[in-house]
Amino acid sequence: MNKTEYKVFLSYSHKDQEIANSLTKAFDQYKISYQADQQLRAGENWMEEIERALQEASVFVLLLSPDFVSSDWAMFEIGHAISRHKKDKAAIIPVIIRDSIVPDVLRSYLWLDARLMKPESIAQELKKIIKVKVDSVANDSDTKRSDRSMKVFFSYSSLDTTIASSIADALRQKNLDVFPFQNDLRATHEWPFKEEKYLQTCDGILLLWSEHCDTPSWVESERTYKRQQLKTIIVVRLDDTPIPSLLKNYSVIYHSDLSVIVQEILQGFKVEDVNQ
Amino acid sequence: MPSNFQKVASYGTVTFLSVNLGSKPLVFISHASTDLWVAKQLEAHIRSCGADTFLDCERVEHGDDFEEKIIEAAEEATELLVLFTPTANNRKYVWMEIGMFLGARKRIVAALYGVTKEQIAEDQFTPIVLKKIDSVELNEIGSYLNQLKKRVETWKQYNE
Kindly list the domain boundaries of chain A, sorted by start residue.
1-141, 142-276
Half-sphere exposure of A182 (CA within 13 A, CB side): 27
Residues of A within 8 A of B74 (CB-CB) are: 83
pLDDT per position as a tens digit, A206-226: 988 888 887 666 666 666 666
Q: What is the model's pLDDT at position A11?
A: 94
Closest-CA residue of chain B to A71: B92
For residue A72, give the nearest of B63, B66, B127 by CB distance: B127
**Complex-level ipTM beyond the 0.85 threshold:** no
**In the prediction, which pLDDT does A155 show?**
87
| Alpha-carbon dihedral sign for residues A130, A136, A139, A142 | negative
Query: Is-contact B83 B29, C-beta < 8 A?
Result: yes
Q: Give the start-to-end residue ranges of the domains of chain B.
A: 22-155
Q: What is the average pLDDT across A230-256?
A: 83
Using one digit for the tens of pLDDT, what is the confidence trace for B43-63?
A: 999 999 999 999 976 656 565
Provide long-range contacts, Cβ within 8 A and 24+ apart, for A18-22: A19/A63, A19/A97, A19/A119, A20/A63, A22/A119
Which CATH number applies to B22-155: 3.40.50.1000, 3.40.50.300, 3.40.50.10140, 3.30.1490.20?
A: 3.40.50.10140
Phi, psi angles (nearest 5°) of residue A113: -90, 100
Q: What is the CATH number of domain A1-141?
A: 3.40.50.10140
Does the beta carbon of A87 lie under 8 angstroms from any beta carbon of chain B?
yes
pLDDT tens, residue by residue, A160-198: 888 898 899 889 888 888 888 877 654 444 455 667 777
Decide if A82 touches B, using CB distance below 8 A: yes
Q: Which CATH architecture has domain A142-276?
A: 3-Layer(aba) Sandwich (3.40)
Best probe of the A interface among B72, B91, B92, B107, by most A CBs < 10 A, is: B92
- Å between B97 CA and nearest CA of chain A: 6
Contact assignment for B95 to A72 by CB distance below 8 Å: yes
* Cα dihedral A202, A153, A214, A223 in deg (nearest 10): 10
Cβ-based contacts of A83 with chain B (< 8 Å): 74-75, 99-104
Percent of chain A with pLDDT strictly greater than 70: 80
Residue B135: closest CA among B115, B152, B150, B105: B115
Select the residue of B90, B96, B132 nearest A76 (Cβ to Cβ).
Answer: B96
The pLDDT value given to residue A1 = 46
Residue A163 CA, distance from chain mean position: 10
**Nearest CA to CA, how far is B104 from chain A (Å)?**
6
What are the tens digits of pLDDT across the range A98-157?
988 888 888 888 888 888 899 999 999 898 888 877 777 666 554 444 445 788 888 888
**CATH topology agreement for domains A1-141 and A142-276:** yes
